[in-house]
Every structure is written in structure tokens, then in C-alpha cells.
Amino acid sequence: MVVSAVKASGVRKSYGDFLALKGMDMELKKGEILGLIGENGAGKSTFLKILAGLLDPDSGSIEYFGMDFFSNKDKIKKRIGYLPETDSLYGNMNAMDYLKFFTSLYSVRDWESKASSLLDMLNLPSDRLIEGFSKGMKRKLSIARTLIHDPDILIYDEPTGGLDPSTSLFISNLLKELKEEGKGILFSAHNMYYVESTCDRIIILKGGEVLYSGEIEDLMTKSTKYQINYIDNGKKKSFKAENADELNSFIKEVAENGGKVVDVIKEVPRLEDIYFKIINGDLS
């Protein structure tokens, strides 16, 4: 039996009379990327902060590698790399000193070698003051900070938010490399193209509730339609099948009636289109 790297069950959180999370369930395995998507105020950041130990839920349970999070928080947090939505950096430090500060918090051995390797990997200068960094460079440095202690789990809140396409692509490729190293990665995002190209699975949140949880490939397959162009009694006709079963059934029917299928055009929707259908209640 494979133990989930992270498992959350029935997580609820309220702020006064506002219920931000209404019983959140989630599982994350090592070596996979899970995307958390939803409108502003859907509960994404709240959930990520709870998973990182920055907020306590009203109720529910969270386990990391089969261990209860709340009774082993100090131990487990050393295995987590958390990236908040907004970077909090020290402008009067250079990148190397900034990472050195955090290695002392995590008791990282051979910190200088690890910090240098991370800065090289992220194309960041080691001796330049952070106040002179661009937004993309600051985001990369924040990511370096989450990796300096070699955590098993990465929890990122909008890792590419507000970044240029080149930096966003760089971070997307980096996450895929970290996945191949066996890290479990959970991140929130608004950019559907980024989610579609990076994630294995997604969770769609609305008003603190999960509307969909599953593999992107399954969701795309279920939403794919097919246009069949065929000849019936010498006339060109077309038919749109709503799914693969209907496609196969119709092709069989055409053949049985003496017709001929000319071609089949597969219409794969964008994740963004499917997302809005789910959010608006047009697709379950």
C-alpha cells in the first residue's frame, strides 16, 4: 500500500462568520504535481497556509507520510518548502547571505555548496544586493530559499503570478525537474495554460468547496468531442459525437447502413474552457 505524501480530510476554516473552507479533502503523492485552481476568495491560499502550518483549521485532519501533522509539526515542517504568494526578502542582503540566513534555521550542512548550486541553477548572481533584483529574480530567489533544505514537499502559492512568460516557463520546467526527483508539489495558479502544461492532477475550488478533483487527462478526455464527416447515399454529411462511446457507436451505424466515414476530427477543449463550465455549473 502506497502511503500518500500528504493527506487532508474534512479541513474546515472560518474567519468570523465567513466559512473559507467547507470540508477540504486532498491527497498528494511524491513525484507528482497537483494544481489548485479557483477564483479569488475560493480558499486556495487559506488551504496552503494550513498545510504549511501557518494557520490552524477549525476541524479536519492532515497527515504527512502517515504522521499526524499537528502533533508532529516541528518535525514535518522541516520536510516542507513553502512559497507564499508575495515575496518577503531583505533588500540590503545579497542572494548568498539571504540563503545563508535560512540554512542556519534548518541546520543545513555544506550550506555554501548547496546555495551556490541553487543560485547557478536559477541563474542568479550571488553577490548582488536583492534590492536591485527584478521581480522574476526575486521570485527565483524565494524558490531557492524553499529548496535549500532539500524538502520532500513543495507548497507554492501562485509561483508564477505576475511574471513574464520566459520566467514562468523557466519555473514550470523547474517544477517538472523537481517532480522527477521525487518531490510532491502542490501549487495554486490562475494561469490555465501553465496548469495544463505542468500538472498531473488538479483540484477546482469554488467558495471553499471542491468541485472537481482528478487527473487533467481524464477531464480532457471526458470533455473531448468528435466531428464525423461521412457519406450517406452519395451525400456528404456530418455528425458531432459527445464522447468516444457515441463516436464508436455512430461509426458502426454508418457502416451498417452502407455509408462511409470520410474523416473524424477530434475537438479537444482547452482546460480554461472546461474550468469555466465547471465553475458555472455546466459540467460536473
Q: Looking at the domain assignment, is residue 229 inside a domain?
A: yes
Region 122-144 average pLDDT: 95
Q: Looking at the domain assignment, is residue 57 inside a domain?
A: yes
Task: Pick the closest to residue 201 from 54, 72, 31 (CA basis).
Answer: 31
State how many domains the chain has.
2
39 and 12 within one domain: yes
pLDDT given at position 237: 93
142 and 27 within one domain: yes
The letter for the amino acid at 79 is R
Report helix, strand or coil for 237: strand
216 and 80 within one domain: yes
Could you identify the residue written with the cell 526527483? 181
CB neighbours of 6 closer than 8 A, spacing ≥ 6?
26, 27, 28, 51, 62, 63, 64, 153, 184, 186
172 and 32 within one domain: yes
Q: Which of 17-21, 150-154, 233-237, 279-283 has the lowest mean pLDDT?
A: 279-283
145 and 17 within one domain: yes
248 and 175 within one domain: no
Residue 276: pLDDT band by 50, 70, 90 thresholds? very high
Pairing of strands 59-64, 6-15: antiparallel
Q: Looking at the domain assignment, is residue 279 inside a domain?
A: no
The letter for the amino acid at 63 is E
Torsions phi, psi for 143 (to 5 deg)? -65, -40
80 and 33 within one domain: yes
51 and 147 within one domain: yes
CA distance 105 to 95: 16
Which domain CATH number covers 213? 3.40.50.300
Asked if the model's pLDDT at residue 119 lies above 90, the reply is yes
258 and 139 within one domain: no
Q: Looking at the domain assignment, is residue 20 inside a domain?
A: yes
The 10s digit of each residue's pLDDT in 30-63 is 999 999 999 999 999 999 999 999 999 999 999 9
Domain span at residue 57 reads: 6-220
Kindly report the number of other CB atoms within 10 A of residue 146's CB atom. 19
Q: Looking at the domain assignment, is residue 278 inside a domain?
A: no
pTM of the entire structure?
A: 0.90
232 and 137 within one domain: no
Task: Pick the closest to residue 177 from 205, 157, 154, 149 (CA basis).
Answer: 154
Q: Looking at the domain assignment, is residue 183 inside a domain?
A: yes
Q: Looking at the domain assignment, is residue 254 inside a domain?
A: yes
% of residues, the chain, pLDDT over 90: 87
148 and 48 within one domain: yes
252 and 161 within one domain: no
Q: Looking at the domain assignment, is residue 280 inside a domain?
A: no
CA distance 136 to 127: 17
Torsions phi, psi for 254 (to 5 deg)? -60, -45
Task: Pick the closest to residue 115 from 101, 105, 128 (CA basis).
Answer: 101
pLDDT given at position 85: 94
